[in-house]
């Protein structure tokens, strides 16, 4: 049984003719040669541990199987209780969610199918997930923008390096970690525009010295093409201050309610991606070797987040309801760079954090985004197919009980009033017999 499983794993999941029966040294040498990498004791140790995990549990190798994916813990988010205006570089600033939940949403949504999500990129051995997560939301916002800006077009590829190199706040700190909420607020205050990847290619090692010296890098694009790809909203509690960040679920100590899940689905059905946070540290080997052919679940141990990702879809995978999560570990990893996790289980602590921005030109009254995908599918890395159906928001249980109780109360009150009126009539001297034609009168 083990031999058959190993052969299947070797044929379908591994690279460079590596076998789970190879020695650590032999497999690592094949891997390094195949991807033209530099050797190191640290990367070798990581690679060999991943290969052993695959031999025991199944999984796959990819071009970053020797990287630990440095994801430093981000500062725990909090909202200021101060009576003074908040400092959005160090305090949690966001606007209240202005959108009402849709009454009907798509049964399944993939923003990739809809052309509203760019291909996942690779952050490498740098804790820059915050930059990739932020740019992912900005790219979606540009693609969703109405009308579409001609200069940016449909082939949107924004520069994470430009964001990283010009962010000098502790909460968005190059390879040392960061967070979408702080990064978006910093961008809104200090940046004039997003930039194209072709003008500032991702190379964190080459550009780190300039960042440490706080050397600002100006944009290359012309001023007439400058773009901040979002609307601003008022900061909760401070009507004179604005922010690009909309808070959908802001308390990381609590998991998503059914209403929150529906609201995130409503955003995705409108074609708007949502920023997410997850916890990866205890699950590094399981995540790194994830095949992408089904969903993956790990129990959340508590209020933890150490990795920035994005909600870019939902639906069913192998008849299980799942979120589609866009990651920053490259397209060889997982489902072409994406992750499927069950909905409603708080897998990897993913259901504790949800923020986004509203694209320019988006109207609060808009319904579902039309022509959001073919829904036919067929790849092992896609959702189950459907016909593009829409589903109605389920009636909440408390609404049903309130309706039942209200109806019973109304009947009771009506009977009581009728009884009093009847008694009052009988007490009068001018009382005359009446025809008995109601169930209440018959029962007396």
One domain for residues 380 and 416? no
- What is the rounded CA–CA span in Å between residue 203 and residue 392? 46
The pTM (predicted TM-score) of the whole model is 0.85
Q: Is 207 inside any structural domain?
A: yes
237 and 367 part of one domain? yes
Q: How confident is the model at residue 277 (pLDDT cuts 50, 70, 90)?
A: very high
Residue 439 pLDDT grade (very low, low, confident, very high; cuts 50, 70, 90): very low
Same domain membership, residue 266 and residue 381? yes
- 364 lies in a domain? yes
**Dist. CA 330–CA 315, nearest whole Å:** 23
Q: Residue 324 domain-assigned?
A: yes
Average the pLDDT over 116-128 and give the result. Answer: 95
Residue 406 has pLDDT above 80, yes or no: no
**Mean pLDDT score, 147-151:** 86
Q: Which of 11, 28, 57 is the last residue of a domain?
A: 57
Q: What pLDDT, on the 0 to 100 scale, is given for residue 86?
A: 81
Q: What is the DSSP string of 183-216?
A: HHHHHHHH-S---BTTTS---HHHHHHHHHTT--
- Residue 7 maps to a domain: yes
Q: What percent of the chain has pLDDT over 70?
A: 83
> Would residue 200 count as lying in a domain?
yes
Lowest average pLDDT, out of 84-88, 100-104, 123-127, 276-280, goes to 84-88
pLDDT, residue 391, reads 96
DSSP element (H, E) containing 312: strand 307-317
Instruction: Tell me what the mean pLDDT of segment 226-249 comes to.
Output: 92
b/e burial code for range 12-24 (CB count within 10 A of at least 16 → b): ebbeeebbbebee
72 within a domain of the structure (yes/no): no
Does one domain contain both 413 and 377? no
Q: Is 75 inside a domain boundary?
A: no
What average pLDDT score do residues 126-143 get?
Answer: 97
Residues 372 and 223 in one domain: yes
Cα 148 to Cα 271: distance, rounded to the nearest angstrom: 14
Confidence of residue 291 (pLDDT cuts 50, 70, 90): very high
Region 94-105: mean pLDDT is: 96
Checking if the pLDDT of 407 tops 60, the result is: no
Give Cα 185 distance to the centre of its chain.
Answer: 18
Best CA proximity match to 192, nearest among 159, 228, 145: 228
Mean pLDDT of 337-366: 96
Instruction: Estimate the crossing angle of helix 24-35 against helix 41-57, to 10 degrees.
Output: 110
pLDDT confidence of residue 80: 46
Q: What is the pLDDT of residue 434?
A: 27
Confidence check: pLDDT of 55 > 80: yes
247 band by pLDDT with thresholds 50, 70 and 90: very high
The domain containing residue 20 runs over which residues?
Answer: 2-57
Residue 262 lies in a domain: yes
256 and 190 fall within a common domain:
yes
Mean pLDDT of the chain: 85
Domains: count for the chain:
3
Choice among 127-141, 239-253, 399-413 with the minimum mean pLDDT: 399-413
Least confident of 48-62, 132-146, 345-359, 421-435: 421-435
User: Which domain CATH number covers 228?
Assistant: 3.90.70.10
Residues 100 and 147 reside in one and the same domain? yes
Query: Is residue 340 domain-shared with residue 439, that is, in the same domain?
Result: no
Q: Which residue has the tokens 């954090």?
A: 353
pLDDT at 103 over 50: yes
pLDDT of 44 higher than 50: yes
Which pLDDT does position 149 carry in this prediction?
83
- The verdict on 160 and 205 lying in the same domain is yes
**What's the confidence (pLDDT) of residue 4?**
32
What is the C-alpha separation between 283 and 336, in angstroms, rounded? 20
Sequential DSSP letters for 374-432: -----STTSPPP----EEEPPPPHHHHHHHHHHHHHHHHHHHHHHHHHHHHHHTSTT--
The residue count for the chain = 444
- Considering the domain architecture, whether residues 169 and 306 belong to the same structural domain is answered as yes
Find out whether 114 and 369 touch, Cβ atoms under 8 Å.
yes
Q: How far apart are CA 231 and CA 245, in angstroms?
A: 9
Name the percent of the chain lying above pLDDT 90: 71
Give residue-wise pLDDT tens across range 293-331: 999 999 999 898 999 999 999 999 999 999 999 999 999
- Domain boundary pick from 392, 415, 433: 392
Clarify whether residues 383 and 403 are in a common domain.
no
In 129-254, beta strands by DSSP E: 233-235, 238-243, 246-249
Q: Are residues 163 and 254 in the same domain?
A: yes
The pLDDT, as a whole number, for residue 259 is 97
pLDDT for 185-218, tens place per residue? 999 999 999 999 999 999 999 999 999 999 999 9
What are the start-end ranges of the E strands in 3-124? 95-96, 104-106, 109-110
């Amino acid at each position: 049984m083990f031999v058959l499983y190993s052969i299947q794993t070797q044929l379908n999941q591994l690279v460079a003719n590596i076998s789970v029966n190879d020695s650590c040294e032999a497999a690592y040498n094949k891997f390094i040669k195949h991807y033209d990498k530099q050797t190191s004791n640290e990367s070798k140790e990581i690679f060999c541990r991943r290969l052993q995990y695959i031999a025991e549990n199944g999984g796959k190798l990819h071009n970053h199987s020797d990287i630990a994916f440095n994801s430093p813990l981000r500062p725990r988010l909090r909202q200021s209780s101060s009576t003074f205006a908040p400092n959005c570089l160090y305090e949690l600033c966001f606007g209240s969610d202005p959108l009402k939940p849709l009454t009907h949403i798509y049964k399944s949504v993939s923003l990739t199918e809809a052309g509203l999500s760019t291909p996942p990129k690779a952050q490498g051995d740098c804790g820059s997930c915050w930059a990739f997560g932020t740019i992912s939301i900005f790219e979606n916002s540009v693609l969703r923008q109405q009308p579409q800006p001609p200069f940016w077009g449909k082939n949107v590829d924004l520069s994470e390096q430009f964001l990283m190199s010009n962010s000098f706040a502790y909460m968005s700190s190059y390879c040392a970690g960061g967070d979408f909420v702080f990064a978006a607020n910093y961008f809104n205050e200090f940046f004039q525009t997003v930039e194209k990847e072709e003008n500032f290619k991702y190379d964190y090692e080459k550009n780190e010295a300039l960042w440490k010296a706080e050397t600002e890098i100006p944009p290359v694009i012309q001023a007439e093409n400058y773009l901040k790809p979002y609307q601003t909203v008022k900061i909760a509690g401070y009507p004179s201050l604005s922010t690009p960040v909309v808070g959908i679920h802001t308390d990381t100590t609590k998991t998503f309610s059914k209403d929150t899940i529906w609201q995130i689905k409503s955003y995705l059905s409108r074609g708007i991606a949502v920023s997410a946070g997850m916890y990866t540290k205890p699950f590094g080997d399981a995540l790194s070797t994830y095949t992408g052919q089904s969903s993956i679940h790990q129990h959340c141990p508590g209020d933890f987040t150490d990795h920035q990702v994005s909600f870019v879809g939902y639906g069913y995978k192998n008849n299980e309801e799942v979120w589609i999560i866009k990651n920053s570990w490259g397209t060889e990893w997982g489902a072409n760079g994406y992750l499927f996790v069950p909905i409603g289980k708080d897998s990897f602590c993913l259901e504790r954090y949800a923020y986004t921005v509203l694209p320019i030109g988006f109207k609060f009254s808009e319904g579902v985004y039309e022509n959001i995908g073919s829904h036919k599918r067929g790849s092992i890395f896609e959702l189950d197919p459907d016909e593009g159906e829409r589903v109605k928001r389920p009636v909440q249980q408390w609404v049903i009980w309130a309706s039942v109780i209200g109806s019973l109360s109304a009947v009771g009150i009506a009977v009581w009033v009728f009884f009093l009126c009847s008694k009052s009539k009988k007490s009068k001297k001018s009382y005359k017999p009446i025809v008995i034609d109601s169930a209440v009168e018959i029962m007396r």
